[in-house]
Amino acid sequence: MGTHQHRFDMLARAQTPGLYRYAYWLCRDRALAEDLVQETLLRAWRSLDSLREEAAARRWLITILRNEFMRELSKRRDTVAIDDMPLVDHTANVGGSDTDMFDVRRALWKLTPEYREPLALQVLMGCTTQEIADMLELTQGTVLTRLHRARNQLREHLGLAGVAMGEGAA
């Protein structure tokens, strides 16, 4: 097996689960999420030589996938009403048969994308706030604020006891 092929296979196996989940939380559609992952890895295959460090692979792939999603979103905006995006899929509760998982996923979908995406990048993909800021082209301060507000809203949606979160504090 060639080095290029071997390197790609290792990368695909290691990163596919995380990429698929991230894609799903972007688009809320299992079929589209799978397609986005395939497209992302196809692009990665073509330009694998530009990846110098394996440690940077996750961030590199996330950026490609996010660009693919934006491209898809843009295409759909040309053909369907913006109100129809993101796609709505009853699989909002996919894979969760216990009530807590169900409620947490529902609460996550109640967040706006600007709050849900950095949270997914942090909690699901293990990105630092600086990495998130770079990927989303935001300042690190904005990312911190969004993460803080996202958790604040989730606590409200989940009916968690009210320990002050410091919102609006100087």
Name the residues that contact another protein, by CB under 8 A: 8-9, 12-13, 16-17, 20-21, 24-25, 30, 34, 37-38, 41-42, 45, 88-102, 104-106, 108, 110, 119-120, 122-124, 129, 143-145, 147-148, 151-152, 154-155, 158-161, 163-167, 169-170
CA dist., res. 147 & res. 15, Å (int): 24
- The Cα diameter of the chain in Å comes to 59
Q: How far is the CB of 49 from another protein (least distance, A)?
A: 14
Q: For residue 61, which of 13, 115, 109 has the smallest C-alpha distance?
A: 13
Which one, 72 or 152, has the nearer CB to another protein? 152
Which one, 77 or 110, has the nearer CB to another protein? 110
Which one, 56 or 158, has the nearer CB to another protein? 158
Q: For residue 23, which of 35, 41, 11 has the smallest C-alpha distance?
A: 35
Q: Is 112 helix (H, G, I), strand (E, B) or coil?
A: coil
